[in-house]
Amino acid sequence: MITLSNNFKIKINKILLIVIIGLIVGTLSIFLSFLLEQLIESGIRFYYVLAALASIVGSVLLFFLSFYKIEWAVAVFIISLPIISRLKTLFLPTIGPFEISIETIFLIILLFAWFTKIVVNKQKIIKEPLGIWITFFFLIGLISIFSARYPLESSRVLFAGVIEPVIFYYILINNIRNQKSIKLVICALIFSICIASGYSFFQLFSKAGFSSHGILEYRLPSVYYNPNIFAESLILTIPLLFMGIISQIFSSKWRKFTLFVLLVSLFALMMTYSRGAIVALAVSILFLLIKNAKLRKLVYKMIPLIILILVLQWSLISNIFLRRLPTAAYLAGPNAIIERLYGWEGSLAMMKDHFLTGIGLEMFKYNYPQYMVSKATIHLEGTHNLYLDIAIAMGVFGLIFFLIILGISIKKCFPLTKTKNFFIKDTSLALSASLIGYSTIALFMGELAHKHMFTNMLLLWTIIGLIIVLDRHKKILEKQKLL
């Protein structure tokens, strides 16, 4: 028996099932063999061929899993994000205003499975508090395209950085409905960041990881092709690791695994050499320490270990930080901080000239030369400030709607952290720390889509979606008088 949904099951004879599987495998074999021959004849490298095969097989498996248990398919999609992000540059065909990547294909599969459930079960789309603001945010982004110098490029970034993450948000809140499935998504996020952090170690010790100054000079981008995007992803997930260690949500074995992932992720974050990420991490941890007594006790017990780690860390990479930190200590001479300040000055002038409609997504690099201050020496491709970037690209109303979405999400977390249910309390505390940390790091960096890669935005909307689901779960328990 194959379960399409809770109320719709298909009985299939064993022989018929074997025939169907045989046809699928046979079709795939013929198709993959043809694809392999075409790729080899065109001179494509062998690992590109393997990537193509893995993508096709993964799509087929996700398709069947989506109809069996869509919540498991959502979890698999999250876990696979680091892998498919690494393959981003291999497959990126453009169809008009759309870019079809592996993430897009996987997302379409999940969307199709969800729509099938809606049709078969007559399942209603869940009402949530962000719908009107998300609609306004999307419409403002759509309007900004008409102000863009290159509308097609701007529309592709809107598709990758806004539309696709929001689609996943709606898939998440409509199919993750109870404590078990929420826990499943959290586990998927932990596995996902474990893969990304683990791959960063491979980078560090591979030939690609060496710089002319030595191995520790390499800023780890992991699978995201940019250390700042990697840092954003870590800031969004590290609070979940902290809470996973001390919370009773997970078993003792899982807590040990989470501790291992946390240590690896913290080291990977340090190796991004992102000063903004260090500030954001400090804000997140401080918030957790203030709100959670168990974490405070754990930190007190670990003070000797923390000091030892800091000493070892300092002895390994202090020379690099000593060269990067002075740019934050003084504002004289050509350095990263002063150039960003010059960039912000030019950005404010740009925003003033395009206050309502913006200049379009990804159009900053084309307009910045006209607004560079005379003292600036570097042609920046971005504002290094997500809020400023949105205001310039989508106008001031785009920024207002984005801030409202963040504000409502954080506000919804605070009542959840006061509930007596330890699962809701611990999970909401971690999610609120994630959003607070991300809101901080967005002051120093951030893009809606980096080279049309939306993994960081997808993780952000996953955190927001979990908050909405958790709030709904609490209300259901209250109605059932279980809280």
- Domain boundary, last residue among 124, 157, 182: 124
Domain that holds residue 226: 130-483
User: Any residues with CB less than 8 A from the CB of 414 and at least 6 apart, and which?
Assistant: 432
Q: Looking at the structure, tell me whether residues 109 and 77 fall in a common domain.
A: yes
Q: Cα separation of 342 and 319, whole Å?
A: 27
Token pair in block for residue 308: 């030892």
Q: Looking at the structure, tell me whether residues 224 and 280 fall in a common domain.
A: yes
| Number of separate domains in the chain | 2
What sign has the CA pseudo-torsion 37, 38, 41, 46?
negative
| Per-residue pLDDT at 280 | 92
Q: Looking at the structure, tell me whether residues 90 and 139 fall in a common domain.
A: no
pTM for the predicted model, two decimal places: 0.85
Q: Looking at the structure, tell me whether residues 343 and 371 fall in a common domain.
A: yes
Q: Looking at the structure, tell me whether residues 136 and 74 fall in a common domain.
A: no
User: Any residues with CB less than 8 A from the CB of 45 and at least 6 apart, and which?
Assistant: none
Q: Cα separation of 73 and 66, whole Å?
A: 5
| Per-residue pLDDT at 354 | 85
Q: Residues of 388-426 as b/e, b for ≥16 C-beta within 10 angstroms? A: bbbbbbbbbbbbbbbebbbebbbebbeebbebebebbbb
Q: Looking at the structure, tell me whether residues 327 and 179 fall in a common domain.
A: yes
CB-based contact 246:298 (threshold 8 Å): yes
Token pair 């007596």 is at which residue?
420
Q: Looking at the structure, tell me whether residues 110 and 208 fall in a common domain.
A: no
Beta bridge partners of 94: 99
In Å, the largest CA–CA distance within the chain is: 77
- Map residue 95 onto helix, strand or coil: strand
Q: Looking at the structure, tell me whether residues 167 and 62 fall in a common domain.
A: no
Q: Cα separation of 385 and 379, whole Å?
A: 16
CB-based contact 417:243 (threshold 8 Å): no
Q: Within a 10 A sphere around the Cβ of 279, how many other Cβ atoms?
A: 17
- Domain boundary, last residue among 102, 124, 146: 124
Q: Looking at the structure, tell me whether residues 435 and 403 fall in a common domain.
A: yes
Q: Looking at the structure, tell me whether residues 117 and 141 fall in a common domain.
A: no
- Domain boundary, last residue among 124, 151, 175: 124
Q: Cα separation of 156 and 286, whole Å?
A: 38
Q: Looking at the structure, tell me whether residues 287 and 427 fall in a common domain.
A: yes
| Per-residue pLDDT at 38 | 58
Of 179, 184, 187, 201, the residue nearest 257 (C-alpha): 187
φ, ψ of residue 214 in degrees (nearest 5)? 125, 165
φ, ψ of residue 3 in degrees (nearest 5)? -90, 115
Please report, in tens digits, the pLDDT of each residue of the chain (483 residues total): 444 444 444 444 455 545 555 555 555 555 555 555 555 555 555 556 666 677 777 788 888 888 888 899 999 899 888 887 776 655 556 666 677 777 888 888 899 888 888 887 777 788 888 989 999 999 999 999 988 888 888 888 888 888 999 999 999 999 998 889 999 999 999 989 988 888 888 877 765 444 444 555 567 888 887 888 889 999 999 999 988 888 877 888 888 889 889 988 988 888 888 888 888 999 998 898 888 877 777 777 777 766 776 666 555 555 555 555 555 544 444 456 777 777 788 888 888 888 888 888 888 888 888 877 767 666 777 788 889 999 998 999 999 999 999 999 999 988 888 888 888 998 999 999 999 999 999 988 877 766 656 778 899 999 999 999 999 989 888 888 776
Q: Looking at the structure, tell me whether residues 304 and 236 fall in a common domain.
A: yes
